[in-house]
Structure 1
Amino acid sequence: MKKIFLTIVAIATLFVSCKEEKKEVVNTPVKENTAFNQLLKDYNEGKLKLNPLNATFAGDNRFNDRFPNFLSDEYGQKSNQFFKDYKNKLAQFKNEDLTESQQMSKAVLDWDCNIALAQSSFKNDLLMPINQMWTVNLTMGQLASGSSAQPFKSLTDYKNWLSRLEQYNTWLQSAETRMKQGIKEGYVLPASLIKKVIPQFEGLSNTKLDEHLFYSPIKKFPSDFSEEDKKKLTEEYASLLNEKLIPSFKSMYNFLKTDYLKAGLKESGISAIPNGKAYYDHAIKNYTTTNMTAKEIHELGLTEVARILAEMEKVKEEVGFKGTLKEFFNDVRENKKLMPYTTPKEIIDNFNAIHEKMKPQLEKLFGNKPKTPFVVKQTEKFREASASAEYNPGSLDGTRPGVFYTPIPDASKYNVFSDEALFLHEAIPGHHYQISLTQENQDLPDFRKTLWYSAYGEGWALYTENLGKELGLYTDPYQYFGMLGMEMHRAIRLVVDTGLHSMGWTREQAIQYSLDNEAESEASIISEIERYMANPGQALSYKIGQLKIRELRAKAKTALGDKFDIREFHNQVLETGCIPLALLENKIDNWISSQKQR
Structure 2
Amino acid sequence: MHTRRHLLACLLSGPWAGVATARTVRPAPSADAAFDTLAERCFNARMALDPLTASVTTADPRYEGLLAITIAPEHLARVRRLNEQVARGLRTLPPESLDPARRLSHELLQWDVDMALKGDAFPDHLIPMNHFGGLPLQLATMGSGDQGQPLKTPQDFDHYLARLARLPAYNRQAIANMRQGMRRGVTVPRVLIESGRDTFARLAEPDFDKSPFSAALKAMPTEIGAAQRNRIARAYQRLFERDLRPSLAGLADFTNGAYARACRSSDGLGALPDGAAWYQHLVRWHTTTEMSADEIHALGLAEVQRIHGEMAQVQQRLGVAGSVLDFLRWHEQEPRFHPYTSWDEIARTHADLDARLTPLLPRLFGRQPRQVLEVRAMPELQRASASSYYNPAAPDGSRPGIFFVGSPEPPQRYSSSYLTSLLLHEGRPGHHFQISIQQELKLPSFRRFGWSTAFGEGWALYAETLGHEMGLYEDPNQWLGHLKMELTRAVRLVTDTGLHARGWTHAQTIRYMMDNQGESQAEARLATERYMAWPGQALGYKIGALRIQQLRRQAQAALGERFTLADFHDLVLSQGTVPLQVLQGMVQAWIGQGGGRP
TM-score greater than 0.5 by the shorter chain? yes
TM-superposition CA deviations, 1:444-473 (whole Å, max 9, x none): 111111111100001001111111111120
Q: What CA deviation, in whole Å up to 9, does each residue of 1:62-100 have, x standing for no partner?
A: 111211111211101100000110011112223233222
- Greater shift, 379-388 or 202-211, is seen at 202-211
Contact 2:563–2:596, Cα closer than 8 Å, also in 1? no
* Distance apart, 1:233 and its partner CA: 2.2
Alignment of 1:458-477 (within 5 A): 458-477=457-476
Q: Equivalent residue for 2:243?
A: 244
TM-score, normalised via structure 2 length: 0.92
CA contact (8 A) 1:333 1:521 kept: no
Q: 1:316 to 1:156 in 2, by over 3 A?
A: same
Letter in 2 for 1:67: L
Determine the structure 1 residue equivalent to 2:52. 53
Deviation of 1:576 (Å): 1.0
- TM-superposition CA deviations, 1:202-242 (whole Å, max 9, x none): 11222411232212222333444443333332222111111
Q: What secondary structure is seen at the aligned counterpart in 1 of 2:375?
A: strand
For 1:377, the equivalent position in structure 2 comes to 376
**1:134–1:535: 8 Å Cα contact kept in structure 2?**
no
CA distance in 1, matches of 2:198, 2:572: 42
Q: Distance in 2 between matches of 1:449 and 1:513?
A: 39
Tell me the distance in 1 between the aligned counterparts of 2:447 and 2:192. Answer: 34
The answer on whether the counterparts of 2:388 and 2:403 sit within 8 Å (CA) in structure 1 is yes
SS at 1:132's partner residue? coil
Q: Deviations over 1:315-355 (max 9, x none)?
A: 11110011111111110111111101112232112212222
- Matched residue SS, 1:184: helix
Instruction: State how 1:92-103 maps to structure 2 within 5 Å.
Output: 92-103=92-103
Q: Which amino acid aligns with 1:439?
A: Q
Q: Report if aligned partners of 1:458, 1:545 keep a CA contact under 8 Å in 2.
A: yes
* Secondary structure of the structure 2 residue equivalent to 1:75: helix
> 1 CA distance for matches of 2:259 and 2:411?
35
Query: What letter is aligned with 2:149?
Result: Q
Q: Residue 264 of structure 2 aligns to which amino acid in structure 1?
A: L
Aligned residue for 2:290? 291
Shift of 1:438: 0.4
In 2, Cα distance between equivalents of 1:305 and 1:159:
51
Q: Whole-Å Cα distance in 2 between the matches of residues 328 and 451 of structure 1?
A: 41
1:133 maps to a residue whose letter is F
Structure 2 vs 1, CA of residues 348 and 221 (structure 1 numbering), >3 Å: closer, same or farther?
closer
Residue 519 of structure 1 deviates from its aligned partner by 3.8
Give the Cα–Cα distance (whole angstroms) in 1 for the partners of residues 131 and 93 of structure 2: 43
- After superposition, the C-alpha distances for 1:36-84 in whole angstroms (9 at most, x for unaligned) are 2222211111111111112211211211121111121110110000011
Is contact 1:32–1:102 with CA below 8 Å preserved after alignment? no
8 Å CA contact 1:515, 1:522 repeated in 2: yes
CA distance in 1, matches of 2:486, 2:448: 28
Q: Distance in 2 between matches of 1:287 and 1:103?
A: 23
Structure 1 residue matching 2:469: 3-state secondary structure: helix
Q: Secondary structure at the match of 1:472?
A: coil
Partners of 1:225 and 1:145 lie apart in 2 by: 16
Equivalent in the alignment of 1:162: 161
Counterpart residue number, 2:590: 591
What amino acid maps onto 2:428 in structure 1?
I
Determine if the alignment matches structure 1 residue 121 to structure 2 residue 95: no
Amino acid at match of 2:362: E
Cα RMSD between the aligned structures? Answer: 1.7
Q: What secondary structure is seen at the aligned counterpart in 1 of 2:593? A: helix
Task: Report how far residue 152 of structure 1 moved.
Answer: 1.9
Match for 1:430: what amino acid?
G
Deviation by residue 1:10-36 (Cα, 9 ceiling, x = unmatched): xxxxxxxxxxxxxxxxxxxxx992222
Alignment of 1:87 onto 2:87? yes
Q: Which residue of 2 aligns with 1:329?
A: 328
Counterpart amino acid of residue 120 in structure 2: S
Structure 2 match to 1:428: 428
- Residue identity in the other structure for 2:565: I
Gaps of 5+ in 2: 1-29
**Contact between 1:301 and 1:493, CA under 8 Å: does it hold in 2?**
yes
Tell me the equivalent position of 1:24: none
| CA distances 1:512-564 after superposition (whole Å, capped 9, x unpaired) | 11111114443222211110000110011111101110111011111111111
What does residue range 134-283 of structure 1 map to in structure 2 within 5 Å?
Answer: 134-283=133-282
Answer with 353-362 or 444-453: which moved more: 353-362
SS at match of 1:376: strand
Q: How does 1:324-363 map to 2 (within 5 A)?
A: 324-363=323-362
Cα shift at 1:248: 0.9
- CA distance in 2 between counterparts of 1:206 and 1:142 reads 14
Question: For 1:199 and 1:469, how far apart are their aligned partners in 2?
Answer: 41
Question: Which residue identity lines up with residue 43 of structure 2 in the other structure?
Answer: N
Give, as a single letter, the amino acid of the residue that structure 1 aligns with 2:60. Answer: D
Residue type at the aligned position of 2:411 = A
Is the Cα contact below 8 Å between 1:186 and 1:273 reproduced in 2?
yes
Instruction: Indicate the residue corresponding to 2:500 in structure 1.
Output: 501
Structure 1 residue 413, shift from structure 2 partner:
2.2
> What SS class does the counterpart of residue 376 from structure 2 fall into?
strand
Q: Which residue of 2 aligns with 1:399?
A: 398
In structure 2, what is the Cα distance between the partners aligned to 1:135 and 1:419?
A: 29
- State the Cα distance separating 1:243 from its structure 2 match: 1.0
Would the aligned equivalents of 1:418 and 1:483 in 2 still touch at CA under 8 Å? yes
Most deviating of 338-347 and 296-305: 338-347
SS at match of 1:451: coil
Shift of 1:179: 1.0
Question: What is the total number of aligned residue pairs between the two structures?
Answer: 566
For the residue of structure 1 that corresponds to 2:402, the secondary structure is: strand
The match for 1:455 is 454
Q: Which amino acid aligns with 2:90?
A: L
Q: Distance in 1 between matches of 2:137 and 2:205?
A: 17
Find the counterpart in structure 1 of residue 11 from structure 2: none
The answer on whether the counterparts of 1:499 and 1:505 sit within 8 Å (CA) in structure 2 is yes
Could you tell me how far apart the structure 2 residues matched to 1:386 and 1:226 are? Answer: 37
Give the distance between the partners of 1:266 and 1:378, measured in 2 at CA.
36
Structure 1: stretches of 5+ with no match in the other structure: 1-30
Aligned partner of 2:7 in structure 1 is: none
* Structure 1: distance between partners of 2:296 and 2:417: 28
Question: Amino acid of the residue matched to residue 571 of structure 1?
Answer: D
